[in-house]
A and B are shown apart, each in its own frame.
Chain A
Amino acid sequence: MSSQKAPSIAVRGVGKSYSGVTVLHDIDLDIAPGEVHGLVGENGAGKSTLLKILGGAIKADAGTLSFDGDQVTVGSPRDAIAHGISLISQEGALVPALSVLDNVFLARWSHRGGLVSARTDRKRLAELMETTGFTVDPDARVDGLPIGVQQQVEILRSLARGARVIAMDEPTAVLAEHEKENLLGLIRKLAAGGTTIILVSHFLEEVLSVADRITVLRDGALIRTGNASETSPRELVGHMVGREIDVLYPDPQPVPDGAPVMLAARGLKRGLVNGVDLQVRSGEILGIAGLVGSGRTETLRLLFGADRPVEGVVEVDGVELAKHTPRAAMAAGVAMVPESRKEQGLVMVRSVAENVALSSLSGRRAGPFVKRPAEKTAVGDISKSVDIRAANPEAAIETLSGGNQQKALFAKWLLREPKVLLIDEPTRGVDVAAKTQIHHLITGLAADGLAVVCVSSEIEELLALSHRVLVLRHGEPAGEFPRGTSPEVVIAAAFGSHEGEPS
């Protein structure tokens, strides 16, 4: 987007370790100007770490970085920005209380005589929105925006800074299907304009479709870099995990006849949600599909009592919830894996073990005391079954890779052995292998009689996992589809009659 050309990047011998644990080892990587470079690997392989080093967010312990043959030091995000590198991190880096406009031009506001000139910024933002095709309200506070839109704000910010290299860490993990397509389109457009894009993603097809070359990392080492056109998802997975594995989605077992209704809701209303009814039987997996803003997440929150419905009834196992609070729902056997692990899911500064144990503390206590051996066993077992990879369960959970954090969040709720499990984006940021593992886990739990309600932006996942898919549109049910329905039909229902018009 910038008038200047992107530099060619040479990474040589880059390494990084944390407290003696090597997380990146001797990485050599060349990235050509205007290239779309895919970066793939299992959870914890070191992808984010490598991007953060490029983006100046952390310092490498070893190795060098050169642009157009000149060795450079990227010691801080400021340095990186000065070199035209912009990092869009996995966790997001917006200032929550500021407006879209202020975030886009953060610390780079146009000014005239020392005063910020909002008018100029507004014009620049309008231009940027035109090139990207995004439509965002410049005055909205970013913490009120859906995650997908927040991410657009981050992209706008990179462009506003005149980035010539944009490193994106799992940008599509939080996006709905059509938003993903838009983003991939934008990536192609930027690359055609000479901007280099480094893309980390667990969606291998997506990486294959957009990248020129793809690098595979495994356990902190670079396994190979190859042309995207000469490789297949299967081959990539093989390199990622170091062996051949099956990545087929398991089929859920049929719901037994006469299985009791475990969760029922009637006439749920609040904010976006305008009269949702649903019923899930024991052993059944209900998928909820819909566009961003269709009230999917809000519906789950109402079911769990995270927000109090202004109208409506929730029944668990035939008993109406007396109070709409998480505590009441949990006492009735409901668990919810929330949408955002950083804001709603995890206590980032506490250890992996403490986080996993948190929602089921009362189940393992002797008087007021935590039964530590029992906790250790419980956390150890569940961590193994969802495959959390942490060097040390006592380490702060913020030191885990994104995908492993997601698995820990999942583990935390499984430890409660719920009767009803509400899941918002079950596999956000989880690698292909672990994803199948989580799918097996969910279908297995359902087979044991758990009732599951699952929201996912990934329509393929939803259709593969669910017995039925409920489509929401403007906070109201817009159709219900059995297993085996084609994705196109579901998407059409989500859009309503005017296909292609985002709500």
Chain B
Amino acid sequence: MSVDTTPQTAAAPAPSAGTNMSRLAFRMRDYGIVAALVIIVIALSISTDTFLTSGNLVNLLDQTAVIGLLATGATICIISGVFDLTASATLALSAIIGVQVGRVTDVYVGMLAAVVAGALLGFVTGTVVVRSGVNSFVGTLATSMVYRGLAVMVTGGAIVYPLTASAEDFGMLTWPSLFGLTSATIMFVVVVAILGLVVARTTFGRRLYAVGGNAEAARLSGIRVGSIHVTAFMISGVCSALAGLILASRAGSAQSTMATGTELTAIAAAVVGGTSILGGEGAVWRAIVGALLLTLIGNGFNLLGWDTIYQQVLQGLLILFAVTMDRWLRKRTR
């Protein structure tokens, strides 16, 4: 910009070389993690001939569904400035409720009941966190213990099965569907697309980011900070319930110890995808990229036939590679 040019205003972003450059840099900054994903995909395609088979891809997406749903819930919470550590406990409890209700009614009502349970549990978690005013990390940690405990109480510690007559229907999420993908994958894609739209395009999404970025400024802008948080927890609860249904459908049963610890994997996927744990930044697509990346790394090991002994170390290193690349690209544009 030379001295005599009049500065551009926000109203009229003149398409000068400067702004084009900055737009481009913006892209780079945003999509560093995608580049890392692509590199790993290419590497796996070249080094194995099994990776690019449709069977493997279908399998890969099916595997991504559970962690992808949880990561989406985690991302939405993190954007709004809270953590949801109840995710896996909610998953177990709502799957159990789904199976039990299914036993006395039918499979579909049971599944609906699971989703409703997920939303209600999310509502309770959110209300506890908002009303008590304790840090969400601590608040949801405690709540998750309660939920796990309830799951044990409801099942008496045993595995719960659907009625034998409906066992086959109960496995419906594993059935192949559109384009040969599993029903679980289709459900995952649909739910995530909807949530992506909600976060990126609705007024609720805008408020979500504002609350996470600066809760006080949001409050003074007339936003009900508490109800935004509660809604975020409810969405996370529904995501957990859906993930629980997929797992239960696959296993043909549900139990109180289901998916223990996956709430942390979900948060890891969210963060690997590039969502800032400070809140106010992030996106649903990042959750998916993060979940894909984690799943892909596991998948690659199986395909390459590498010893599982090294798996964890290499997994850790690959995650570091991915996030470093993301950081690096962002920093270069500072």
Tell me the A residues contacting B by CB distance below 8 Å.
18-22, 25, 44, 218-221, 223, 242, 304, 306, 326-327, 330-331, 336, 338, 343-350, 352-354, 357-359, 361-362, 365, 368-370, 372, 379-381, 383-384, 387-395, 412
A391 CA / B9 CA spacing, docked (Å): 7
Which residues 17-41 of B sit at the A interface, judged by CB distance below 8 A? 17-26
Given A22-B1, A361-B206, A368-B202, A347 and B217 contact (CB-CB distance below 8 Å): yes
- Name the B residues within 8 Å of A389 (CB-CB): 7-10
Docked Cα-Cα span, A218 to B3, in Å, equals 7
A-B pairs with CB below 8 Å: how many?
A: 146
Contact B1 A21 (CB under 8 A): yes
Residue contact B203 to A354, C-beta cutoff 8 Å: no
* Cα(A124)–Cα(B281), bound, Å: 43
Q: Which residue of B lies closest to A358 (CB)?
A: B221
Contact A344 B220 (CB under 8 A): yes
> Which residue of A344, A346, A358, A384 contacts B11 across the interface (Cβ within 8 Å)?
A384
Inter-subunit contact A21/B19 (CB<8 Å) = yes
B209 near A361 with CB under 8 A, answer no
Given known pairs A18-B22, A359-B221, the reply for A388 and B280 (CB within 8 Å) is no
Residue of B nearest to A390 (CB): B10
Residues of B near A336 (CB, < 8 A) are 220
A368 CA to B231 CA in the complex, in Å?
A: 14
A358-B218, A391-B18 are known; give 6 further A-B pairs, CB within 8 A.
A20-B25, A336-B220, A349-B280, A350-B280, A354-B206, A369-B203
Known: A221-B3, A348-B213. A392 touches B22 (CB 8 A): yes
Contacts of B327 in A (CB 8 A): none
- A352, closest chain B residue (CB): B10
A388 x B218 contact (CB < 8 A): no
- Which listed residue (B2, B22, B222, B334) contacts A359, Cβ 8 A? B222
Question: How far apart sit A381 and B11, CA to CA, in the bound complex (Å)?
Answer: 6
Complex Cα spacing A327 to B207, Å? 14
Please give, as numbers and ranges, the residues of chain B lying within 8 Å of A387 by CB-CB distance. 9
Residues of B within 8 A of A306 (CB): 219-220
A361's nearest neighbour on chain B, judged by CB, is B203
The answer to whether residues A347 and B8 also contact, given A21-B18, A391-B13, A391-B22 and a CB cut-off of 8 A, is: no
Contacts of A392 in B (CB 8 A): 10, 13, 19, 22-23, 26
Q: Of residues 27 to 76 in B, which have CB atoms within 8 Å of A's CB atoms?
A: none
| Contact across chains for B9 and A326 when beta carbons are under 8 A apart | no
Cα of A346 to Cα of B209 in the assembled complex, Å: 12
Closest-CB distance, A97 to chain B (whole angstroms):
15
Q: Are B1 and A354 in contact (CB under 8 A)?
A: no
Against A, the Cβ 8 Å flags (1 = close, 0 = not) of B291-334 are 00000000000000000000000000000000000000000011
Given A18-B334, A21-B22, are A327 and B222 neighbors across the interface (CB < 8 Å)?
yes
B202 neighbours in A (Cβ, 8 Å): 368-370
- Please, which residue of chain A has its CB at the minimum distance from the CB of B211? A347
Does B214 contact A393, Cβ atoms closer than 8 Å?
no
B108 to chain A, nearest CB (A): 27
| CA distance in complex: A380, B24 (Å) | 22
The 4 closest A-B pairs by CB, nearest first: A20-B21, A347-B213, A384-B11, A19-B22
Of A304, A327, A391, the most chain B CB neighbours within 10 A belong to A391
Contact B203 A388 (CB under 8 A): no
Give the Cβ gap from A347 to chain B, nearest Cβ, in Å: 4
Would you mind naming 13 contact pairs between A and B with Cβ atoms under 8 Å apart? A18-B22, A19-B21, A19-B26, A20-B18, A21-B19, A326-B221, A347-B217, A349-B276, A357-B206, A358-B221, A368-B198, A370-B205, A391-B8
Out of A223, A345, A347, A388, name the residue touching B10 (CB < 8 Å). Answer: A388
Bound: A135/B8 CA distance, A: 45
Residues of chain A within 8 A of B26, CB atoms compared: 19, 392, 394
Q: How far is the CA of A344 from the CA of B280 in the complex (A)?
A: 15
Residue of A219, A349, A393 near B5 (CB, 8 A) is: A219
Kindly state the separation between the CA atoms of A392 and B333 in the bound complex, as whole angstroms: 15
Complex: how many Å from CA A381 to CA B25? 27
Contact between A242 and B4, CB atoms less than 8 A apart: yes
Are B222 and A383 in touch, CB under 8 angstroms? no
Report Cα–Cα, A19/B2, bound state, in Å. 16
Least CB distance from A479 to B in Å reads 30
Q: Which of A44, A350, A393 contacts B209 (CB 8 A)?
A: A350
What distance in Å separates the Cβ of B11 from its nearest Cβ neighbour in chain A?
4
Contact A349 B213 (CB under 8 A): yes
